[in-house]
Amino acid sequence: MAQKALIQKPNLFLAFVQQQGALLAFVALLIFGALRYEGFFAVYNFAELLRYNSMFGLVALGMTFVIMTGGIDLSVGSVAALTSVLAAQLSPHGLWIALFLPVLAGMVLGFVNGLLIAKLKILPFIATLAALLAARGLAFLAANNQSVSVATDTGFTDFGQGNILGVPTPALLMFAAFLIGVLVLRFSSFGRHVLAIGGNEEASRLMGLSVDQIKIGVYTLSGALAGLAGVILASEFGAGQPTEGSGWELAAIASVVVGGTLLTGGKGSVGTTLVGVLLLGLIFNVLNFENGYGLISLSSYWQSVIRGGFLLVVVILQTRLTKGQKI
């Protein structure tokens, strides 16, 4: 009995680290930044941190539901690039048209991904890789291989650049989306079915769950949120960017995994994905401050290198922690 208790205690600790490790790292990084950098806790710094990372947050939210079913969506960055171009082209017609139609386009692309995966049984990696290439090509075609300026007299730019009660509008939208995501996952049958399918798809079918519809639903959701991120991209930077979005799928996957969601599906949390998004954003924010000190000099291209290395480390740790809990 004593030996059993000794075995269970480490398992509880490993479970806590897996689920809350991102939060612990986030708090530690906040303390480090406050002690090292002057102006780190300035309102402007955190406002811009939230504004910029709201795009990654929305994409990561959709990716969370996809990964919890045991799938993957590699097309989110290209979908965001395409919808940013569409939003810029539609911006002369006002905010609501420039918001609704690109999000609808993202939904359609996500729906097609879901159909290919659920009905034609194409592997998620292959289906969404094809969508990545198709959406990227469409973005360049629609933009004629150049940035598309947005209209500045229709209120469209206020959506990405504005504030509500001092908080960036995109950040408020991101927080609202995550709140809805938490409620859906915890209290709806859709959320329970997502986790069940990720845990054991065949058992879910035998239980009578609508596996295909759930899969189509999560990919449609992922496409819609990527579309919304594209609208924010165009509004915030004042142009549709067909070259943007490269590596966004990596950032989203990294945020989801560091938040404790298993890549194999069946287990995950929406709230911890948000922490993962903020942690990755804070890491690059700290690096920017460090660049200002002149001790290091990292170009923006290093962000992809850091994200890739960070994702690899987190996956290795997650694998080891998961094995440790099964001892």
pLDDT score of 6? 43
Q: Which amino acid is at 24?
A: L
- 177 contacts 185 by C-beta, under 8 angstroms: no
Q: Is residue 306 part of a domain?
A: yes
- Give the burial class of 42: count Cβ atoms within 10 A of its Cβ; 0-12 exposed, 13-18 middle, 19 or more buried: exposed
- How far is it, in rounded angstroms, from Cα 225 to Cα 58? 6
Contact 70, 204 (CB under 8 A): no
Bridge-based pairing of strands 148-149 and 239-240 is antiparallel
Low-confidence stretches of the chain (pLDDT < 70) are 1-20, 292-304, 307, 311, 317-327
| Strand (E) or helix (H) holding 56 | helix 43-68
On whether residue 311 sits in a domain, the answer given is yes
29 in a domain, yes or no? no
In a domain, 81, yes or no: yes
So what's the pLDDT on residue 142? 92
Determine, yes or no, domain membership for 276: yes
Whether 105 maps to a domain, the answer reads yes
Tell whether 20 is covered by a domain: no
How many residues would you count in the chain?
327
* Global pTM value: 0.89
Confidence (pLDDT) at 226? 97
CATH number, position 74: 1.10.3470
Q: 259: domain range? A: 38-325
Name the domain count of the chain. Answer: 1
d(CA 159, CA 210): 37
Residue 220 vs residues 24, 143, 230: alpha-carbon distances, Å: 33, 24, 15
Q: Please give the full DSSP string across 150-217, using - where no structure is assigned.
A: PPSSSSHHHHHH-EETTEEHHHHHHHHHHHHHHHHHHHSHHHHHHHHHHH-HHHHHHTT--HHHHHHH
What is residue 152's predicted lDDT score, i.e. its pLDDT? Answer: 87
In a domain, 124, yes or no: yes
